[in-house]
Structure 1
Amino acid sequence: MFELIFILVFIATLLVTGITMMTVFAAAGFALAVMFLMGMVGVVFKILPWLIVIAIGIWFFKNHVYSSR
């Protein structure tokens, strides 16, 4: 899916700016930035269950284990 988004963003950027060597570099940079951000969002969604488990564990420790001392 990310590859399709990369190609669509790259083609759209080339069509908007016109096709010259400078705009090819600009489109490649913009597409790289978009793919970097999409990759970071994908990683966050991938580790989201673990983050929820860690948050519940910290809450349980603070409210039940540590408060009993």
Structure 2
Amino acid sequence: MARYLLVVRETEENIMFELIFLLVFIATLLATGITLATVFIATVMGFIVLALLGMIGVMFKLLPWIIVIVLGVWFFRHVVYTPR
């Protein structure tokens, strides 16, 4: 059951990112007008937005591990390791 919920959650997040991409793409086309150059610009802007959102998503997924690593390094430096 938990595995199914995890799959559903990831699917909902993917749908949200796709919806954001679609809205940004349409807004960019409407703001610039629809020509070949503006379609190319809209595609590049959409790629940039998706790349940034993907990086933010990965950061939030890795945040617990980053906190554990920082705490481990702090513990090692202040409790375990004693300089000579």
Normalization by structure 2: what TM-score?
0.79
Aligned residues: 69
Q: Are 1:23 and 2:38 matched, yes or no? A: yes
Q: In 2, Cα distance between the equivalents of 1:40 and 1:33? A: 11
Q: Which runs of 5+ in 2 are unaligned?
A: 1-15
Deviation at 1:47, TM superposition (A): 0.3
Deviation at 1:5, TM superposition (A): 0.5
- Aligned runs of 1:7-46 on 2, under 5 Å? 7-46=22-61
Deviation at 1:68, TM superposition (A): 7.6
Q: In 2, Cα distance between the equivalents of 1:30 and 1:60? A: 43
Q: Deviations over 1:23-58 (max 9, x none)?
A: 001000000011001100100000000000000000
Q: CA RMSD in A?
A: 1.2
SS in 1 for 2:82: coil
The aligned residue for residue 55 of structure 1 is 70
The percent of aligned pairs where both chains have the same amino acid is 62
Normalization by structure 1: what TM-score?
0.95
Q: Which runs of 5+ in 1 are unaligned?
A: none
